[in-house]
Every structure is written in C-alpha cells, then in structure tokens.
Amino acid sequence: MSIVVLKIMLILGIIGHAINMYCDRILSIFPNGTINFGNIKEIREGNVLAETMEGVSEKVPMRSAVLGAFALVLEFMGYSSLAYYVYGYAKVNGSIMLAMTAFFCIIAAAYHVKTALVEYVFIKLGKDEKAKGLALDLMGDAPILRGCMLGLIVYIVTFIVSIVTGVIGFPMWAIMFTIIPVFILMIPFRIIGTIHIASMVSMFVWLILM
C-alpha cells in the first residue's frame, strides 16, 4: 500500500473523529443542561434527567447513532493506516496495532450505539420514572467502555515502543503527540469530546511524519 493511500486513510480518520465528537456532543449537551461522567450520579435523582432533556427530539440520539457508526468506520481507516505503516518496519508491532484497531473500533461502535439507544428509549417512553429506570438499566448493561479503552491503550503503547526503539524512524518527541499524553493535557479544560480532539491532533502530527 502506497504512502499516499495511507495518508488519505489517516485524513479520513481525522474526519471520523470530528464527526464522532459532534455525535458525542449532541448526546451530552442540551438546552437545559449537560450530561457527562462528572454528573452521572446526579441525573439518577428525581426529575433531573427529564428536565435536562426537556424538548429534545428522539431524532437526536438516532442521528448520533447512525453518524457515530459511520464515524467509527472512518476512524478504523485512520488507525489501521498507521498500523500498516508500522507493519512495514516491524511486523509484530504492526500486527498488534491492526488487531487492536479492529478490537477497539468495533467495541466503540457498539458502545456509541448503546448510549444513543439509552437516550432514544428514555425520550420515546415519555421521560417518566419507568422510562428512566429502563434507560439506566440499559446504560449499566454490558459495560464495554473499559474494553474499548484497553484496546486503545495497547495500541498506543505498542506505537510508543515502535518510536522508542527507532524502528519506524519517528523522532522521540512524537511520543508527546500520541493520544494519551495529549488527552491528559486537555483534561483540565473539561471539553466534551476531549478524546476526539486528542486523536485529531495526534493523527495530524502522524500525517506529517509519515
């Protein structure tokens, strides 16, 4: 596979993360408030969830589910592009990265659709206590986010090893532009979609270095 094709795939990965960030934000930011990991316990109480999502159409989570699944396909192309690049220099490292790309992208797609389905069910059933109970049960079922993050971490660690050992010819400073360090630096800003911003920044740097 030519370097030009790999770079095009990486650009598609950047676009995928941009779309996915939009999908995450419409699932989290509403006219009456925001739902995030910081206030997830609060929305379980009283009518907080119903008030936060007042006036939100069921079309919103469905749009997020469809676009999010499409975005994960584009992200897969971006991550697999770098995996193929590494494979050209270190077959074991590249194979691990490609396997992890398939692993965490598939799981991420499932998680994204499940999260959108939770909100769709809550809105469609009238946002009452029964609907909230069903939605929260659905949200708690099959906790797959940890599996997704584990796959991404293995991918990044393998990539860092490839940089440190010098097998792919990337400079040592490129380590600072892997997703996890950029993500950690952005945590204080509390931006919904931080992981996608970190990924886009990292992919842009990788695009230049490839």
Q: Evaluate whether 121 touches 137 at the Cβ level (below 8 Å).
A: no
| Residue written as token pair 């050992």 | 165
* Residues above pLDDT 90, as percent of the chain: 68
Determine if the pTM surpasses 0.85.
yes
* CA 83/CA 155 separation, integer angstroms: 9
103-144 pLDDT, tens per residue? 999 999 988 898 899 899 899 998 888 888 877 777 765 567
Measured from the Cβ of residue 156, the count of other Cβ atoms closer than 10 Å reads: 19
* CA 20/CA 13 separation, integer angstroms: 10
pLDDT at residue 18, as a whole number:
98
